[in-house]
Amino acid sequence: MLKKKKIAVVLALLAAALIFAVPVCIKYSRGSKAYETSGYAMGTYILQTVYGENGREASDKASEKIHNLENEISWRINSSEIAKLNKQAGKGSTAVDKETCSILETSLDVAEKSDGAFDPTILPVSSLWGFGGGKPHLPDENKIKSAVGLVGYAKLEIGADGRSASLASVGSGVDLGGIGKGAACDTAVAEYKKIGAKAGIVAAGGSIGVYGTKPDGSAWNIAVRDPDSTDDKSSAMGEINISSGFVSTSGPYEQYFVSNGKTYHHLLNPKTGYPENNDIISVTVTAENGALSDALSTACFVLGREKGSRLLEKYGAGGVFIDKAKKVYVTDNLKEKFKISEDGYKLAD
C-alpha cells in the first residue's frame, strides 16, 4: 500500500517536472546566447546578431570590414575608389581593388540584363534629388533632362585585369547606393564564416544576410515590412523562411517627400530621371549573393512584376511583388518559403 503511494508521488513529481520543464526549455532554447550590435555605415543602420562563443569577435570584425568597404565604394567619401573613378570620368581609368571590382561587375551584369532598369551610373540624376543624406527635394526639370543624358551603364568599363575601371564621359558618375547595402551583408556573412561563428544575421537597410544554423535549428524567419500600414508601420505583411542566403526589399514607403501635393520617392528610373510610379509598392528578392539581391530588388521595382519576374528567372532568384491593390505575387521558387501574415493582403492566382 505504502509502496503504491510512493510510486504515485514519484509519477506525479515526474509529470509535474515535465509540465514545468518543457515550456521553459523551449523558451530558453529560443533565447540562446546571442551577441547583438548596431552601427552606421553605407548611409544606413547596420544591425547584427551573431551566435556562438566568438560572436562578438565576428560581429566586430564584420563592422570593421563594412566600414572599410564603405570607404572604397561610397561616392560621398572623397578618398574612395568610386569617388576617384568619378573624378576621372572622361579622363582615363582608376585603380580599384578586387572587392570594388566585383561589385562593379555585378552592377553591370544586372544593368545589362535589366536593360538599364538598374544602372550604377545613375549618380548625375540621384545626386540632384538629395535622397540618402541630403535634403530631398524636387529638382529643376531641365537639370533632370541634362542629367539623364549622362547616365548609361555602357559608359562604365572594367579593365581586363579586373583591377581598374573607367567612365567614358565627363560628368558621368557611379552611385552604388542601390547595391552597397547588400554588398555590406556579403561582407558581414563572409566574416562570420571566416571567424567560425555558429550563426549570424546582418541587416543593412532593407537588405539581410544570414549565415549558419540558429541554435534552435529552425530556419531564419525574415519579416517583410508592411508597405501600407498606417498605425504600426513597423509591422510585417508576411514572412520568408530561409536557411541561407540574402534578402532585399525595395519600396517607396521609406524615403519620400511631398511637394505641391505630390509624393516623390527614392526609387528613380534611370531612363526618366524621376521616381518610378508603376503599380508596385514593394519588391522583395532572395538570392545567394547580397549585392545581387539588392540590385535585383531595385531593378524589379523599376521593371514591374512581369519584366521583373523574367529578370529574376535569369538569376534563379526568388521574388515577392506587392501591387497597390495589395495583391501579392510570389515566384514559384519562393512559394513554399513565403507566407502572408497580415490581413488585407492576398496571394494572386
Partner 1 sequence: MFRKKDLLIIIPFLVAAGILALWFGAKPSYGIAVVEKDGKEVCRFDLSKQKTSRIIDIGGSMNIKLLLEPGAISFYRSDCPDQTCVRTGRLTKPGQAAVCLPGKVSVRVISDGNSVRKYDGYTG
Q: Which residues bind partner 1 (CB under 8 A)?
A: 4-5, 8-9, 11-13, 15-20, 22-24, 26-27, 30-31, 36, 38-40, 43-45, 47, 49, 131, 133-136, 201, 203, 206-208, 210, 214, 220-225, 227, 229, 231-236, 239-240, 247-249, 251, 253-255, 257, 282, 284
Based on CB atoms, which residue is closest to partner 1, 9 or 154? 9
Q: How far is the CB of 112 from partner 1 (least distance, A)?
A: 26
- The cell for 17 is 517536472
Based on CB atoms, which residue is closest to partner 1, 166 or 250? 250
Element (H, E) at 124: helix 123-129
Alpha carbons 278 and 259: distance in angstroms, whole number: 19
Based on CB atoms, which residue is closest to partner 1, 144 or 202? 202
Q: How far is the CB of 179 from partner 1 (least distance, A)?
A: 16
Q: How many helices (H) and strands (E) does the chain have?
A: 9, 17
Across the chain, the runs of DSSP E, i.e. the strands, are: 34-41, 44-51, 93-95, 156-158, 164-167, 199-204, 207-212, 220-225, 236-242, 245-250, 256-259, 262-265, 280-287, 318-323, 327-330, 338-340, 346-347
Based on CB atoms, which residue is closest to partner 1, 100 or 248? 248
Alpha carbons 345 and 342: distance in angstroms, whole number: 6
Based on CB atoms, which residue is closest to partner 1, 118 or 220? 220
Based on CB atoms, which residue is closest to partner 1, 134 or 149? 134
Based on CB atoms, which residue is closest to partner 1, 27 or 98? 27
Q: How far is the CB of 214 from partner 1 (least distance, A)?
A: 7
* Residue count of the chain: 349
Q: How far is the CB of 167 from partner 1 (least distance, A)?
A: 28
Q: How far is the CB of 236 from partner 1 (least distance, A)?
A: 7
Based on CB atoms, which residue is closest to partner 1, 251 or 273? 251
Based on CB atoms, which residue is closest to partner 1, 71 or 235? 235
- The cell for 52 is 556562438
Based on CB atoms, which residue is closest to partner 1, 192 or 220? 220
> What is the widest separation between alpha-carbon atoms in the chain?
100
Q: How far is the CB of 2 from partner 1 (least distance, A)?
A: 12
Q: How far is the CB of 43 from partner 1 (least distance, A)?
A: 7
User: What is the dihedral angle through the alpha carbons of 270, 272, 275, 277, rounded to the nearest 10 degrees?
Assistant: -120
Residue 283's SS3 state is strand
Q: How far is the CB of 24 from partner 1 (least distance, A)?
A: 5
- The cell for 189 is 556573412
Environment class of 336 (CB within 10 Å of its CB; exposed 0-12, middle 13-18, buried 19+): exposed
Q: How far is the CB of 173 from partner 1 (least distance, A)?
A: 22
What are the b/e assignments for 62-96, b being 16+ CB within 10 Å? bbebbbebbebbbbeeeebbbbbbbeebeeebbeb
Q: DSSP character for 140?
A: P
Q: 284 to each of 146, 159, 319, how far by Cα in Å?
A: 32, 32, 5
Q: How far is the CB of 60 from partner 1 (least distance, A)?
A: 13
Q: Are the C-beta atoms of 45 and 36 separated by less than 8 Å? A: no
Q: Is 42 left (phi over 0), alpha (psi -120 to 50) or beta?
A: left
